[in-house]
Chains A and B, each alone.
Chain A
Amino acid sequence: MKEFMYFAFKNTKFKIGLSILLFFLILATIGPYLSHYKDPLEYVSMSNLPPNKDNWLGTTTFGQDVFTQFVYGLRSTFFIGLFGGGLATIIGLLIGFIAGYKGGWIDEILMMLTNILIVIPTLALLIIIAAYLPYRGIGIQSVIIGLTAWPWTARAVRAQTLSLKSREFVNLAKITALPPLKIVLEEIAPNMMSYVVMVFILQFAGAILAAVGLDFIGLGPTRGISLGLMLQYSVLWNAIQLGIWWWFIPPGLAITMIVSSLYFLNIGLDEIFNPRLREE
C-alpha cells in the first residue's frame, strides 16, 4: 500500500485524473447547499438569463436555475456510474470467474450468452427495456445499464482466470483440497485486484455515457434531473438556435471531463500496477 501510494503520487496522469474527479465529486456533494434554490425544477427567475450574480450559470427557457440543475445532475451521474458500473463489474466478474474456472459446458453456455450480448447493441437493449417502463428513476436506469454492460468484462475476466488457474500456486491449493470457492476468492481474486479496479473504472465511465445517451433520446428518469436530461431539454427547446449556450455547455463539459478523468485515472493506475509501463 505504501509502495502504491509512492508511485501513485509520482504519476501525473493519476494525479490529474484524481483531482478532476474529486473536484466534480465535491461539487456534487456540496453544490446543492451552495445554490440559492432548493428544487432544480422550480421556476425561480426570468427565462433565458445569461449567467449572473443570482443564477451562476444562468436560467433555462422556463426560468429554472441552471447551476442547481447542474449540481443535482452531477449527483445522478455519479450515482449511475457507481451503481450501474458497479453492477456491470460484479456480474461480469462472476460470469467470467465461473466460466474460466469451471470450464466445460458451463463455460460454453456462459460464453455463448456473452457473445450474443456483445453483438446486440447495448443501447438497443436499453431502449426496448426502458421504453416499456412507465416510471423510471435513476435507480432503475442504473440496474438496466448494469444488466446490459457486463459482457466484455466477463470475457476479459475469463481470459485472466484461464491464465491464472494453471499457475503453480493454484495447483498447490487444489492439492491441499481447498474448496473451489475458496480458491477463487483467496488465490485467484487477489491476483486480479488491480485488474478489477481498472475494469470498474471503465464500467463507471461507460455507465455514465450510456445514461447520457438514454436520457437524450427521451428515456431518462421520468422524475428528477440529470445531465443528459439537461442536454435533451436544451435541444428540444431550441437552445442551440437561440444561442443559450449556458444551458448546454456545462452538462456536456462536465460529462466529458469526468469521463476523461476516469480514463486518465485508468492509464495512471495501469502504470502504477504494472512496473514495466512506468515512465523512466
Chain B
Amino acid sequence: MLRYLIKKLYIYILTFFFAVTIDWLIPRFMPGDPILVLVSRFSGLPESAKVMYGYLIKAFGLDLPLWKQYLNFWMAIFKGDLGISIYLYPKPVLSVIAQAIPYTLVVLLPSILLSWIVGNYIGAAAARHRSLDSSMLPVFYIITSIPYMWLGILLAWAFGVLLGIFPIAGAYSFSMRPNWSWQFVADFLKHWILPFLSLFIVQIGGWAIGMRNLIIYELEANYSRYLEALGASEGLIRRYAFKNAILPQITGLALQLGTIVAGSIATEVVFAYPGMGYILLQGILNQDYFLVQGVFLFIIIGVLLANFLVDILYMIVDPRIRLGLGGENV
C-alpha cells in the first residue's frame, strides 16, 4: 500500500518538475520576443517603451545566464513570488490568483462530485433496463458532445435573457459586498446556479456512458454467470457488478480532471464569473504573461493535488491495493 503511494508520488513530483520547466521554457524559447510584443503597446511613447523593456528584461531575469534563470525561477516559486500582474498593476499575481480560486472551486467541486454520482447512478440504471438504454444512450452521447461554453451560452440566454430568472454575469450583484448575510448568500447562489448547471450537465453524459458500458461488461463476466448459475438474486449480482465497475470510474475521475478544468475556464468566461478562467482570459487578452504563467502553475498544482486525492480514495476503495495484493494500477 505504501509502495503504491510512493510510486504515485514519484510520478507527481516528476510531473510538477516537468510542468514548471515548461512554464519556464516556453516564454524563453518561443519564436519571437514576448517582451517586444509586450512593449509594442507603448510604441507611441518610445521613452517609456525603453524603460518598460529594461524593467521587463530585469523582471524576467533575462540578462542572467540560462542556468541561473532556471534556478531563480524555482526559488521564486517556492517563495510564492509569481511576479506582478501587468493587467492589474501593481497587484502581485499570487494575490490575484488567491482571490479567484474560491470562485472556481465553489463551482467546480460540487459540479464534479454531483455529476459523478448522478452520472454513475443513471448509467447503472440504463444498463439495467434495455428499453431505457436504447433511448438514453444517444442522449448521453449528445450531452457529452456539447462544448461547455455553448451550453453555458444557451442557459444564459434561456434563463437569463428570455425568462429573466437568473443573472448572467459576475458572482454577486454590483450593489453588494461579500458578507455572510442571508441576502448576500441568496444573491450569490442565484449567480452560481447557471455556471454550475452548465458544468454539471455536460459531465453527466460521460460518466453515464462509462458506467453503463462497465456494468454491461461486468454482468457478462464469469463471476456474474457463476452467481447466476448458483441462483443468486439479480440484485446481488448487480451489486457486485457495481462494486467492480466503480473502480475504473474513480480512475476516470482523475483522467477527466484536465478536461473538466478546461470546461470550467470556458464556462467562467461565458458568465464573467471571477474565477481562474476569467482571470486567465483577461491575462491572455491583455498579454499579461506573468498572470498566464501563474494560472498555468496553479491549474497544474490543483490537478496534481486532485489526482493524489483520487489515488488515496482508490486505495481505500480497492481492497487489493489496501491489503497490498497488487491491483491493476500498480
Min distance, Cβ B134 to any Cβ of chain A, angstroms: 9
Enumerate chain A interface residues (CB-CB to B < 8 A): 112, 115-116, 118-125, 127-129, 131-134, 152, 205, 209-210, 212-213, 216-219, 231, 234-235, 240-241, 243, 245, 248-249, 251-253, 255-257, 259-260, 263-264, 267
- Chosen A-B contacts, 20 in total, with CB atoms closer than 8 Å, are A118-B255, A120-B15, A120-B19, A121-B257, A121-B258, A121-B262, A121-B300, A124-B262, A127-B295, A128-B292, A128-B296, A131-B284, A152-B255, A216-B147, A218-B281, A231-B147, A240-B168, A248-B157, A252-B149, A253-B150
Chain B nearest CB from A133 CB (Å) reads: 7
Give min CB distance, B275 to chain A, whole Å. 13
Q: Which of the listed residues A128, A205, A210, A252 has the most CB atoms from chain B within 10 Å of its own CB?
A: A128
Instruction: Please determine whether A240 and B153 come into contact, CB atoms closer than 8 angstroms.
Output: yes
CA distance A132 to B28 in the complex (A): 10
B11 touches A115 (CB 8 A): yes
Is B156 engaged at the interface, CB distance under 8 Å to the other chain? yes
CA distance A263 to B139 in the complex (A): 12
CA distance A121 to B30 in the complex (A): 20
Beyond A248-B153, A263-B145, 13 extra complex contacts between A and B, CB < 8 Å = A115-B11, A116-B11, A116-B18, A119-B303, A120-B258, A121-B262, A124-B261, A127-B292, A132-B34, A134-B32, A218-B285, A245-B157, A260-B142
Chain B residues lying within 8 Å of A216, measured Cβ to Cβ, are 147, 149, 266, 269
Partner of B161, one of A128, A212, A241: A241
> Does B119 touch A at the CB level, under 8 Å?
no
- Interchain CB contact (< 8 A) of B147 among A112, A116, A120, A212: A212
**Chain B nearest CB, measured from A278 CB (Å):** 14
A contact patch SS: helix
Contact B150 A260 (CB under 8 A): no
Contact A127 B296 (CB under 8 A): yes
The answer to whether A217 and B15 have CB atoms under 8 Å apart is no
CA distance A118 to B141 in the complex (A): 23
Q: Is B299 an interface residue (CB 8 A)?
A: yes
Q: Cβ of B157 and Cβ of A243 under 8 Å apart?
A: yes
Contact A252 B23 (CB under 8 A): no
CB-nearest residue of chain A to B30: A132
Known: A131-B284, A240-B168, A241-B168. A260 touches B145 (CB 8 A): yes
Measured as residues with beta carbon below 8 angstroms from the partner, the interface class of chain B is 35 or more
Q: How many A-B residue pairs have CB under 8 A?
A: 155
Q: Dominant SS at the B interface?
A: helix
The complex places the Cα of A195 from the Cα of B145 at a distance, in Å, of 21
Contact status B289-A121, CB under 8 Å: no
- Encode B277-299 as 1/0 by CB contact (under 8 A) with A: 10011001100010011011001
B258 touches A127 (CB 8 A): no
**Given A216-B266, A216-B269, A260-B145, A120 and B303 touching (CB < 8 A)?**
yes
- What's the minimum C-beta distance from B120 to chain A, rounded to whole angstroms? 19
B30 with A133: CB separation less than 8 A: yes
Nearest opposing residue in chain B for A276, CB measure: B220
Q: List the B side residues contacting A123 at CB < 8 Å.
A: 258-259, 261-262, 265
Complex interface: chain A residues within 8 A of B299 (CB): 121, 124
In the assembly, what is the distance between CA of A209 and CA of B260, in Å?
Answer: 12
Question: In the assembled complex, which residues on chain B have CB atoms less than 8 Å from the CB atom of A260?
Answer: 141-142, 144-145
Query: Inside 8 A of B150's CB, which chain A residues have their CB?
Result: 231, 248, 251-253, 255-256
Contact of B269 with A124 in the complex, beta carbons under 8 Å: no
